[in-house]
Amino acid sequence: MDKNISFTLKVWRQRGPKEKGEFKSYYMEDIPGDTSFLEMLDILNEMLINRGEEPIVFDHDCREGICGMCSLYINGHPHGPATGATTCQIYMRRFHDGDIITVEPWRSAGFPVIRDLMVDRRAFDKIMAAGGYVSVNTGGVPDANAIPIPKEKADEAMDAAACIGCGACVAACKNGSAMLFVSAKVSQLALLPQGKVEAKRRVKAMLAKMDELGFGACTNTRACEAECPKCVSISNIARLNRQFIGAKFKD
């Protein structure tokens, strides 16, 4: 059994996209160490509702690290202090008795705050809609081994496909750049024969969308890679650059 801890939560409260937000402090008493971070927020919200106050709005869904809905910038780190884990996967045992834990929303021009800790990440959907797919004529189901794919290629494509689209890379980036996300989505297809066919069109369309939506340019600080809960590598960004430059030279 983990110890129980008591701590102060400093949470960003903002009623709407246009309204001014501020930090509010909440004292949390005797929280067991094996409470997940989101459960802890549930406990707080329960308290707030019982007191007749507005509960804190935050995004979440699967609570097992696969959907990419949870966010939260905790003590200066997107998805909190752990590496390779989402906010829903961290537990209160990571914190200490008497800590002040600051919880902020993702802050980036591309991700405006909707309310409290919830931000609008539809920009990522728009980037995906611009080209993050393969257009196939669906016929009969082909044999799984009809197209041979080298193991290393398959592995790299899988590593890129691990991206859950959470947006922590944008939240961590001093330039508000979405390059890690876009590069993962470009790479997961470009590495495979099925995706190669449309690679040029895809990379141009997705990058143009990213720029249009106001995300910044990558200066290779590597904050994204360090904070990504799925450890997506910046080698994907090099691939994106390579493909984009190649496509432009072909034009």
Partner 1 sequence: MWLFNSSVGKKVVMSVTGLALILFLTFHMTMNCVALFSAEGYEWICNFLGANWYAMVATIGLAILMVIHIVYAFWLTWTNRKARGAERYAVTARPKGVEFASRNMLVLGIIVFVGLFVHLFHFWSKMQLVELQGGEPAAGVELIRYTFSKWYNVLLYLIWFLALWFHLTHGFWSALQTIGFNNKKWYVRLKWISYIFVTLIMGGFATVLILFFCAEGLNWAIFPGLFQGLVG
Region of residue 133 (left: phi > 0; alpha: psi -120 to 50; beta: else): beta
CB atoms within 10 A of CB 182: 30
The binder of 69, among ligand SF4, ligand HEM, ligand FES, none, by C-beta within 5 to 8 A per type, is ligand FES
Residue 166 engages ligand SF4 in binding (rule: CB under 6 A): yes
**The tokens of 219 are what?**
């200066």
Q: Is 66 in the site for ligand FES (CB under 6 A)?
A: yes
Q: Which of 70, 101, 168, 218 binds ligand SF4 (CB under 6 A)?
A: 168
Is residue 86 a contact point for ligand FES (CB under 6 A)? yes
Closest CA relative to residue 168, chosen from 74, 35, 54: 74
Q: Which alpha helices (DSSP H) does 143-234 contain, by range?
A: 151-161, 168-172, 179-190, 193-196, 199-212, 223-227
From the list ligand FES, ligand SF4, ligand HEM, none, which binds 165 (C-beta under 5 to 8 Å, kind-based)?
Answer: ligand SF4
Contact call for residue 167 and partner 1 (CB under 8 A)? no
Look at residues 114, 229, 120 and name the one whose alpha carbon lies nearest to residue 181.
229
- 233 binds partner 1 per the rule CB under 8 A: yes
Task: Provide the minimum distance between the beta carbon of 221 and ligand HEM in the complex, in angstroms, as a whole number.
Answer: 9
Q: With contact defined as beta carbons under 8 Å apart, do 35 and 93 qualify? A: no
Name the E strands within 33-158. 73-74, 77-78, 100-104, 113-115, 118-119
Which residue, 65 or 176, is less far from ligand FES as judged by CB? 65
User: Which residue lies nearer to ligand FES by CB, 48 or 67?
Assistant: 67
Query: Binding pattern to ligand SF4, positions 124-163, x when CB under 6 A?
Result: ---------------------------------------x
Please report, as ranges, the residues that interact with ligand HEM according to CB under 6 A: 217, 219-220
